Amino acid sequence: MNVPEVLAAMARHFNLPELTLNPDGVSAVLLPPGVDLHIEVLSGCDEMRWTMPLGQPDLACRALVMTEALLANAVLASFTHRHFAWEADRGQLVLCETHRLDLLSPDSIPTALETFIRANREGRQQLQAQGYFSF
């Protein structure tokens, strides 16, 4: 699939009229509470990254959260398209998922999106239970 086809399939899935990218190749979808999805076409390659915030770790726990996220990335990379990233400008941990455009299809996008959103919600619940994050 190409970028416009993927964006159209995502818009259909979320019942939105249209999704477009800004000049930086990014789009944001704000849906029901807990769904703050950012879509980015990675420059120089045929990949798309989906990102959702997990939360802002309390300052006292930030180093621990970052260490745990780095360790978790090694495991995640072995069996998923997901990884954790740090958005320094917002001071938050995010969950990312990267897909090659040529491997996406109109049939696979809804399932992939819902699986990603569910993983984000589960991650937020786990982090909240640990008490490291302010939500």
Phi then psi for residue 38, to 5 deg, are: -110, 135
Its CATH class, for the domain covering 3-130, is: alpha beta
Amino acid at 130: Q
> How does DSSP assign 17-51, residue by residue?
S-----TTSEEEEE-STT-EEEEEEETTTTEEEEE
CA distance 89 to 56: 11
Going residue by residue through the chain, which has 135 residues, state the pLDDT in tens, using 9 for 90 and above. 888 899 999 999 889 888 888 888 888 888 776 678 888 988 777 899 999 998 888 888 888 888 888 888 888 888 888 999 998 888 889 999 999 999 999 899 999 999 999 999 888 888 878 777 765
4-31 burial: b if 16+ Cβ within 10 Å, else e: eebbbbbbeeeeeeebeeeeeeebebee
DSSP SS3 for 85:
strand
Where do the structural domains in the chain lie, given as residue ranges?
A: 3-130
Per-residue pLDDT of 75-105, as tens digits, reads 888 888 899 999 888 888 999 999 999 999 9
pTM for this predicted structure: 0.86
CA distance 10 to 75: 28
Identify the CA nearest to 80 among candidates 94, 102, 68, 97.
Answer: 97
Phi then psi for residue 7, to 5 deg, are: -60, -40
